Structure 1
Amino acid sequence: PITTGPLSVDANGIITVAANTPSGTYSVTYQLCESDPVTGNNVVPANCDTATATVVVSNPIDAVNDPSVTVASTNNPVIVPGSVLTNDTLSGLGVTTTNTNVTPITTGPLSVDANGIITVAANTPSGTYSVTYQLCESDPVTGNNVVPANCDTATATVVVNNPIVAKPDNDQIPAGTTGHVIITANDTLNGKPIVVGPGLGEVTLTVGTLPVGIKYDPNSGTVSVVSTVADGTYTFDYTICENGAVPNNCQTTTVTIVVVAKVEANDDRYTVSNGSTGGVAGNVLTNDIVNNINQATTTNVVLGLVQGAKPLITVPVNSPVPVLDLTTGNVIVPPGTPSGQYTIEYEECLVINGIKVNVCDKATVTIQVEPEKGDEIVIYNHMTPNGDGYNDIFLIDGIDKFPNNTV
């Protein structure tokens, strides 16, 4: 019996090939000697000869095309899950990195390494990409490819899908002002904010027909509305396309800009000459402006009370105070209002087509209430505190007309 490499010859002349022997041609030289039929021992003197037996080991290798895998690219290389070796076989059994070698190769954005791992280059555009790789049987001991080579090729396919989300934009800009809107602020590529530019991983933005007075800056993605645009609703479309994608990867959405009238509520100051009789001090709408040119009215604005009349003096409990009529805008001083200064804070909001919108401004109205003409204080200095009921106390007449007093 003799063993040479993976070949063994037993006493009966049977050749055995060791398990997992790589493909190749192997030889073993054996010795044949005459033996005594009775004893079974070799005759003496020996009568021998040698010969060589050759065995060709051929392990069929099958590199199978891989089913496509879908990934999204990023700013960094992306490793595709799995390995191209998964469905490949050697002698009908799954291959390993021990008994096979993959020849590293790069085709377009796809790279296959020696372990059969596919990597997609950073910022690869959407599309379908393929790479053909070579799988060769290797010697498990040396790691080198067997000689002669035993190889097969197969194709791996990767689908890169970079989703674009272009969300509608809805913005309000006060009329009479220059407004700016970044329409791409809510748009994404692969879940990240888009970058408008010519490079891979960036997008190209195409804007449709713009309404008069509305402009688009392609460098910043900003839409501006000039101050002369009348109030109203303006719409236009824009399309985002991923650079380099085959087929095209685009999304279209709509921008809606509502130019709303601007409300400007200005502070007011009124003086009422007679708090005893009261009256209408004035109307807060008189000096308030809508859209920079129109006077505020009960038709185009609605009033709201922020802070009721706040006296800047000390007044008797339950004394009447000035009020703002929210339906008319009139500031009313009730009869008997103590003299002094009062403030009322109000809010003025825009009304469009009979509906209140969230375009508001606040202002303060100050009311100076004067005492009734002729009101005076009389101080009686003569006192005779003798208990007869006359001139027993210190008397100041008319002080009730001036509640914000100190004695």
Structure 2
Amino acid sequence: MKNDELDGRTPQTTTDVYITPGVFKDNNNNPVDYFTFDTTTGKITIKPHTPNGTYSFSYTICKKGTSECADPAQVTIKLEAVEAVDDDYSATPVNTVGGAKIIGNVLDNDRYQGGPAIDHKDRVVVSRHSGDDRIEIKSTGEVIVPQGMPAGTYELTYQLCLKESSNTCDTAKITVVVFEDKPLVIHNGISADGDGHNDSFIIEGIELYPDNNLKIFNRWGVLVYEKDGYRNDTEPFDGHSNGRATINASSKLPQGTYYYILDYKDTTGKLQQEKGWLYLKY
């Protein structure tokens, strides 16, 4: 009653007024029995195990002994005890030749009563809703791709629920990309003239091996470029130094032959190395 008015004032108690309650309804306008309303105090109590959702309720305050009533009031209640958020792991494809891989935990971005669900594993539980049964979704949120999973893009859904209430749940989607082992294809010609063709050092397939380190040396063995986690689409080598050895950052390197060493971990975690030459021209 704190924001209600009758006769231009806010009633503090029900000494002089009475409350006529309506019916609690869900978002589909169906009556529900998840709440109680105290007509003597105006307080609404939410029953345990009430599902997530939006609920509405109306009531009217009237002056005792008269037919004088305030306009009907509408109450909207939105419950989000748990919130499941989609998990897209496609930016980090996995390969399971060397064994099963834990690719993440869906609780990392889910919510429990407005806070991180990962901090309340004892209060929530995760279960599969749909998708390929070979990909395991543990009750604690870990997503495990089994050894030998065929290459492809997989979409699954899961439910996040309160442990004490199987009715209080939310659903989200998981996207997983599994790739096959592919040999790297290294292009050793760079024509950094800005025409959009061969303007940078391209290593086909490097995105499948994100744990990598690339070093490029000039013909005197001076390190002119180094990059951890080299990618073709993020700051690739285009004939400019990135500030190694005695060469200033962003310095345009002379045209000519250079030498590269690429160290990377394969899908089994074993360290591999590729090395060779590349030719830079403008």
TM-score band, normalised by shorter chain? 0.3 to 0.5
When normalised by structure 2's length, the TM-score is 0.43
Taking structure 1 as the reference length, the TM-score comes to 0.32
The structure with the largest alpha-carbon Rg is 1
